A and B are shown apart, each in its own frame.
Chain A
């Protein structure tokens, strides 16, 4: 009786409700703070309800900018980024961001409008089969077919996106469902997904096996990937590495998981990684991979990858274990839980003195280098200056290309969650909008959007957001009048036939920034750089700096495609 009375009471209070009401209520329940969305016909019912909502709505100037911003937000806040796009063209404009988030395991909740259920399949105005399009590039996707399902679907979507190996989830909402009215009382929903039970706790026997392997090993290394960051396990990683005295190598996406200033840190491995890290992977006898997926840009030719090593792989996604590299100690678990268990084993740290000396020698003999005497402004120098002037505390968000690699090489990350980059998909146009999301997730932080002149022009329109919200993002353009990485590959592999990789006609980036009410600078020398960076890095305002860097500078060292990690080119000047 009591229950019944309670039900009727809520009913008179809040029912009937529209689909859009239920949706907004579900978002509020998930404590969503910010939505990156672009309105359109099919999502009008939802936008009408957003009119009075407390949730901050950010209007990008292109949906792709919106979803990349949501990715930056997710990477820094650890919470799912929420995106709204309308049906058809709105929905297809977010496809690149979905693929990017899928590759880099970023949690996103993406709502797309859809034409009304009655006309789905008739090629109606602004209709696209977004479920079909996004099935291979989402962790899961839904089309809402009845209003009553909305609370359950939203709850499930947040659960799926943010647990296990994170990833994007898309919810497609037909217009008549969002506008439709339900007088059914909202049911309390529990997540019930029998087919989705991520394994978080490691298998004890495998943990023992790894501990024994560590105690036998003479040349162990830890390869730490983004899984360490997603699992918020950097503290545990440090504790374990120190306890066992195992040196740590980072993947591109994992940077910051282990402090770069730590004596056990070797460096980043991979195509443009450092010599010591790549040789460490080649020479080690035990490779402990924590949350990295052995991407081909990391491993080089698999035939020569870690040829002498026993491979242990800790990953929350069992399908990653053994996918590219045969693994003898598989541990399916959350990085944090696995490391906690490993620390508890407290095996005696074996003596790795000789191994550490070898690594140190590699580091000293073959460091990253560039011509410090050059009159031309060197991008590496700019990165070093940015590092020292922000004391390594800035959030560094990059686009894709040469500048991305220089940032990874020269900005020495000492903290977790200070690094946002498009690693897996390698998306140009990602960096600048992602920096907007990163700044919203951490308003106090100094956010550097490191872009190339090519990538920045793929998303310049988002200058509007930083002006509108007065976000103090520092846009750093490494302007070499070219698609630098393409140009570098053409120089090396296509006998300097620079087919369409040079951009001879550039806009004035400064005037472009000024058009949006943002201050801009052109910098051609180190002295100018010193002066301007001192002035703007901590002034709390957005700024764009167009660094005219040496147009012929290349990223070295480098592993050519098909070569092994030990076959690095350009290790020494």
Chain B
């Protein structure tokens, strides 16, 4: 099962190394990890997406992360209502007669073109992983020359719905 874990950590040298080291030492499989500054000075926020076998393993991850001296807070936000985004940059082959076709795909996904050259264009897309995935599938036949994804970054919504059973949706 996929879990999304949010961490607040001290900005100390080697902190990301500590976290990733812990994952590999304990044999946890990371799908993505994204890091950046947070609203507090001296603290960063890390979002990890991990695959685990069962709830016991996900509890173990949370506890092991919490044990780290530099980790201030750990929350498994998978079952909460969250806002989650990923950014992908896709350089796709585009000759003059396919360009318009590609533009017509970009539009409904609210992606944007950020660079164009003679035989290619670079598209930027943000959204939940599924949406990015769907777009990449769609654009694949045109020939992807380069692809870079950031991995998910996320935190809980400002208001939590009372029922947390269903999958959380985000309106684009």
Contact = CB atoms under 8 A, between A and B. Distances in A.
Interface of A: 131-132, 135-136, 139-140, 143, 145, 160, 193-196, 317-319, 321-323, 326
9 contacts: A131-B14, A135-B14, A135-B17, A135-B18, A136-B21, A193-B69, A318-B63, A319-B63, A322-B59
B71 to A, nearest CB: 5
A319 B67 contact: yes
Nearest to B61: A319
Main secondary structure of the interface of B (DSSP, over half): helix
Which among A131, A145, A193, A194 has the highest number of chain B CB atoms within 10 Å?
A194
A160 B69 contact: yes
B25 to A, nearest CB: 5
A248 B64 CA distance: 29
Contacts of A196: 69
A140 B25 contact: no
Contacts of B69: 139-140, 160, 193, 195-196
B166 to A, nearest CB: 28
Interface residues of B, number: 21
Interface string B71-102: 11000000000000000000000000000000
Main secondary structure of the interface of A (DSSP, over half): loop
B120 interface: no
A323 B57 CA distance: 8
B32 interface: no
A140 B15 CA distance: 11
B56 interface: yes
Given A131-B14, A135-B18, A136-B25, A195 B70 contact: yes
Which among A132, A139, A145, A196 has the highest number of chain B CB atoms within 10 Å?
A196
B29 interface: no
B14 to A, nearest CB: 6
A107 to B, nearest CB: 14
B50 interface: no
Nearest to B14: A131
A359 to B, nearest CB: 31
Interface string B10-29: 10011001100110010000
A324 to B, nearest CB: 10
B26 to A, nearest CB: 10
B18 A195 contact: no
Contact of B56 (A139, A195, A322): A322
A196 B66 CA distance: 9
Contacts of B60: 319, 322-323
Which among B10, B69, B71 has the highest number of chain A CB atoms within 10 Å?
B69
A319 B9 CA distance: 18
A318 B66 contact: yes
B112 interface: no
Given A318-B66, A319-B67, 13 more contacts: A135-B14, A135-B21, A136-B25, A140-B69, A143-B13, A145-B13, A195-B9, A195-B10, A195-B70, A317-B67, A319-B64, A321-B63, A322-B60
B68 interface: yes
A193 B67 CA distance: 12
B170 to A, nearest CB: 30
A371 to B, nearest CB: 44
Contact of A194 (B66, B67, B72): B72
Contacts of B59: 322
Contacts of A131: 14
A132 B63 contact: no
Contacts of A193: 69
Nearest to A164: B67
Contacts of B14: 131, 135
A516 to B, nearest CB: 40
Nearest to B68: A195
A318 B67 CA distance: 8
Contacts of A143: 13
Contacts of B9: 195
B21 to A, nearest CB: 5
Nearest to B74: A195
A326 B56 contact: yes
B7 to A, nearest CB: 10
A317 B60 CA distance: 12
A149 to B, nearest CB: 12
Nearest to B24: A136
A158 B115 CA distance: 54
A196 B9 CA distance: 11
